[in-house]
Amino acid sequence: MTEIDLISNIEKDYILNLAKKGEREDGRDFDEHRKLILEPDLIKKAEGSCLVSLGETKVLAGIKVDKGEPYPDTPDQAVMTTNAELVPLASPFFESGPPDEDSIELARVVDRGIREAPALDMSSLVVREGELVRVIFIDLHILDSDGNLFDASNIAAVTALHTTKIPVLDDEGNPTEDMIPLPVIKTPVSCTFAKIGDNIVVDPSLNEERVLDARLTVTTEDNGYVCAMQKGGNSEFTVDEIMDCIKKSIKIGKEIRKTILKTTGKQKV
């Protein structure tokens, strides 16, 4: 039995009736995000890191950079892998063990947004084409789950990438003492919407996720283009609803992007 299955009919009716009246359980407007707090560089042994608090949802992202062989089909590109860990301390409904369906989906959504933007100049991280490239590990640790892990994890990962520094390599591929920033060229930001009855809210809380009919995550990059989308839930969105979500995600993403760039000292003048 999942966390969603355990919500009572009384709770469901309460949230649905609020939505019908244009209200939300926590008093936010339908298009209003919860308070966002970014705390970069918390993990000193990582190449980059960031703790994100989105309301009561907390996600810690850590970046490690190693060396390895490229994939055979992309010999001129670095390698990036994203993993998400839903630890039991974050929710009574998370269990220890191998990654489950939810953690795999979370990692894939975050990875796709970063990869398709693209956020990184992957070709500049090649040491010897076809032989040796940088390997970037993005690890997402869910510390407290109170809804919308997609956006919190995306923001944590992207901010952590902006803080990442890697050693310069010599001609043999060995690290030197000189450090350079990871070549981050774009800042993709995801925005998640929940359809509850006939209404759509942004940044769903945990209780809103438990009653939603459909979910849509839209990731946009710096120029306002959509670089990734993910649909969830058992219901559907109309074309007009999708277009409205895209429009709102561009606006919200622009503001969150400013916060990320300001926090990491990358704010464009």
The CATH number of whichever domain residue 57 belongs to comes to 3.30.230.70
Q: Is residue 244 part of a domain?
A: yes
pLDDT computed for residue 23 by the predictor: 96
pLDDT computed for residue 217 by the predictor: 98
Q: Is residue 38 part of a domain?
A: yes
Work out the mean pLDDT of the chain and round it to a whole number: 92
Q: Is residue 268 part of a domain?
A: no
Q: Is residue 39 part of a domain?
A: yes
Q: Is residue 269 part of a domain?
A: no
Q: How many domains does the chain have?
A: 1
Contact criterion met (CB below 8 Å) for 214 and 233: yes
Bigger pLDDT: 95 vs 150: 150
pLDDT computed for residue 3 by the predictor: 47
List the domain range (segments joined by +) for residue 176: 4-263
Q: Is residue 198 part of a domain?
A: yes
Residue found under tokens 């956006």: 151
pTM above 0.85, yes or no: yes
Contact criterion met (CB below 8 Å) for 172 and 178: no
Residue 121 has pLDDT above 90, yes or no: yes
**71-103 confidence digits (pLDDT tens):** 999 999 999 999 998 866 656 666 666 667 888
Q: Is residue 187 part of a domain?
A: yes
Q: Is residue 179 part of a domain?
A: yes
